[in-house]
């Protein structure tokens, strides 16, 4: 969880703007929206004019260092905190003006959740089903649905304080799914999980989004995980959203931030890597040629795909035995490091 209140204070020299009006309810309304959101703690701007949107069936990664404002933003969306200014909306309903409606549409899975003593898995889920006002067959059906989806049926009568970390996370997910919410907010759900548990959790999230069309906002420090789960992401630092968009758009932003328009190409050959390096240095559109590993050469190529294909043909005609020829895919980690500056408040 972000340690927003432990960050050194900064001086606020201007008042926050007035809250934005609620967006109209119409076809195409975002499932989740933060609009000019501010949250101040004294003179500390924990959230500073944050705006982003997510749509039905979308998985949006919320990325930032500790203290960036992620958890504070998520708590506002979950109606557990109130913004200093701005507003947030779930399917067009204001978290400020209509919190009761929001709580029926949204499930919040914090990075840590309470476990009550002397309860087994079924009793725990049944407790929350009752808390949501479910009765009779509806309550039993909701508990059974969650047990089946999270694959906790075989552990239904196991004490919850005896569950592994992975099974505990499944239970936490099951708790928020009891009310069948349209929007899920998940704060560091993969923290502390072993590789198998992370993969299994990722598969559950994929089903929730792709098949059940739920909107998911998920924060994590494991950026490789997010790049595999998310359609898009918002990068936040020191309370401000620095960039948002699809993963591909963020990769493009990274290249532009670094002043690069050329693609990075990696070529693996069966020997003669040094000769290939010299040959490439003499070719048009080729820059920054270097040995990138055993029998691997890396270079920047600033031309279209037709020119790239011609370069490969010429390379083969020169007798180089090429076993791999590929563009280097910029990662979400690359984009994060390029866009953020390591600023703390």
278-337 residue pLDDT tens: 999 999 999 889 998 889 999 988 888 899 999 999 999 999 999 999 876 566 666 666
pLDDT at 261: 52
Q: How many CA atoms lie within 13 A of 159 on its CB side?
A: 5
Adjacent-strand bridge partners of 240? 237
199-252 residue pLDDT tens: 899 999 999 999 999 999 999 877 777 778 898 999 999 999 998 888 777 766
pLDDT band for 339, please (50, 70, 90 cuts): confident
pLDDT at 323: 94
pLDDT at 293: 85
135-194 residue pLDDT tens: 999 999 999 999 999 999 999 999 999 999 999 999 999 999 999 999 999 999 988 888
- Please provide the DSSP assignment of 241-265 as one string: EEEEEEHHHHHHHHHHHTT--SEEE
Which CATH architecture best describes the domain 262-330? 2-Layer Sandwich (3.30)
Measured between alpha carbons, how far is 225 from 216 in angstroms, rounded to an integer? 14
Question: pLDDT over 70 for what percent of the chain?
Answer: 84
Q: Which of 92, 107, 83, 74 is nearest to 31 (CA)?
A: 92
pLDDT at 4: 45
pLDDT at 240: 94
Q: Which residue has the tokens 């758009």?
A: 249
Asked whether the predicted pLDDT for residue 10 surpasses 80, the reply is no
Sequence ranges of the chain with CATH classification 3.40.50.300: 4-254
Asked whether the predicted pLDDT for residue 260 surpasses 50, the reply is no
pLDDT at 256: 47
pLDDT band for 344, please (50, 70, 90 cuts): low
Residue 53 CB contacts under 8 Å (≥ 6 apart), including other chains: 30, 32, 33, 34
pLDDT at 334: 67
* Angle (CA) 238 244 248, round 5°: 130
pLDDT at 343: 67
Which CATH architecture best describes the domain 4-254? 3-Layer(aba) Sandwich (3.40)
pLDDT at 333: 66
pTM across the whole model: 0.74
Asked whether the predicted pLDDT for residue 42 surpasses 60, the reply is yes
Take residue 279 and report the two structure tokens written for it: 């040959």
């Amino acid at each position: 969880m972000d340690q927003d209140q432990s960050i050194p204070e900064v001086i606020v020299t201007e008042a926050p703007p007035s809250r934005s009006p609620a967006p109209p309810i119409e076809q195409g309304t975002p499932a989740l929206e933060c609009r000019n959101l501010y949250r101040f703690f004294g003179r500390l701007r924990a959230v500073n004019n944050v705006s982003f949107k997510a749509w039905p069936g979308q998985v949006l990664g919320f990325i930032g260092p500790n203290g960036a404002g992620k958890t504070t933003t998520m708590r506002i969306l979950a109606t557990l905190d109130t913004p200093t200014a701005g507003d947030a909306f779930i399917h067009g309903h204001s978290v400020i003006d209509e919190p009761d409606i929001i709580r029926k549409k949204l499930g919040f899975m914090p990075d840590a959740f309470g476990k009550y003593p002397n309860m087994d898995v079924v009793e725990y889920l049944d407790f929350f089903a009752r808390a949501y006002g479910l009765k009779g067959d509806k309550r039993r059906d909701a508990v059974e649905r969650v047990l089946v989806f999270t694959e906790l049926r075989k552990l239904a009568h196991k004490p919850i304080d005896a569950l592994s970390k992975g099974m505990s996370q499944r239970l936490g997910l099951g708790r928020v799914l009891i009310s069948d919410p349209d929007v899920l907010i998940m704060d560091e759900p993969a923290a502390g999980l072993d590789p198998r548990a992370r993969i299994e959790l990722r598969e559950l999230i994929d089903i929730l989004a792709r098949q059940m069309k739920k909107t998911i906002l998920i924060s994590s420090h494991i950026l490789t995980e997010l790049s595999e789960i998310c359609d898009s992401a918002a990068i936040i630092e020191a309370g401000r959203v620095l960039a948002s968009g699809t993963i591909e758009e963020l990769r493009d932003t990274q290249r532009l931030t670094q002043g690069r328009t050329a693609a990075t190409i990696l070529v693996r050959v069966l020997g003669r890597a040094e000769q290939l390096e010299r040959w490439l240095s003499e070719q048009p559109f080729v820059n920054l040629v270097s040995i990138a590993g055993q029998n691997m050469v890396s270079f920047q190529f600033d031309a279209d795909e037709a020119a790239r294909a011609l370069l490969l043909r010429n390379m083969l005609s020169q007798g180089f035995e090429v076993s791999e020829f590929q563009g280097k895919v910029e990662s979400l980690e690359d984009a994060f490091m390029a866009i953020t500056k390591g600023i703390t408040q």
